[in-house]
Amino acid sequence: MTAAPRDTRDRDAQSDDGAVAHSRGSFFGRRKGHRLRSHQADLIDNLLPHLALEIGAPAPDRLADLFDGGVDDIRLEIGFGGGEHLIAEARALPLTGFIGCEPYVNGMAKILSQIEAHNVGNIRLFAGDAAELLAWAPARSLARIDLIHPDPWPKRRHWKRRFVQDATVAAMARILEPGGEFRFVSDIDDYCAWTLAHLMRSPDFVWLAERVSDWQSPWPDYTMTRYGAKAEREGRKATYLRFRHALARGSG
């Protein structure tokens, strides 16, 4: 893992102030965030309600029932940002259902625009806290969870806000099916070390790395995000971590 400077990402929101309320709940954005264009606002009001998960109601027995026409398995991407990776995955795997979790309104507007433009039908969206989504979903219902270039919360007093915590690791273990995977990408060494430490001390996960290239290079068919490309241009090397649910398929 290579050293990285203090985070300079261009995600749509980096602070937890300036909540933006609307009819589907509350999104969060920077106090000086980009104002939505009229068509983006229209998508938030009219397309999002058809794709949004309502976790106030009990979860279905099978998350596949959330998708028209049925899907073979379900993946979750937490904090999809501009949506580049999520859209590419959904278009490449039409028989897989994808849930995207993003609390920031600009990110949600961007992915709705791409869903409309490409007529993508196998994505459902949640505009809220991923921990709440993990608690809501039925056990062993996801094949994979992706966390790509999350906010590292670099200040020590903010580390409790990082998504990877002992409690969320346990929640992911509950929701992943046997043999399911958690994948993590970051160019922030401290957060990579933090994630590796938390997952390695969990009895529920096994780190899938046998050689240095396993964490220095992206997995096959990985779609680089806008932030990832910017980090590379600026000389920041990402680390790619894969963890498998320790309970093998067919056991337990």
How far, in Å, are 2, 36, 76 from residue 45 at the CA level? Answer: 43, 12, 23
Catalytic residue among 151, 190, 214, 221: 151
Partnered with residue 73 across adjacent β-strands are 96
Which residue type is seen at 14? Q
80, 145 Cβ separation under 8 angstroms:
no
- What is d(CA 207, CA 195) in angstroms, rounded to the nearest whole number? 11
> Is 190 among the catalytic positions?
no
DSSP readout, 57-89? SPPPS-GGGGSTT--SEEEEEE--TT-HHHHHH
Q: How many residues does the chain have?
A: 252
How far, in Å, are 18, 30, 91, 113, 156 from residue 119 at the CA level? Answer: 32, 29, 9, 10, 43
The residues annotated with a catalytic role in the active site are 151
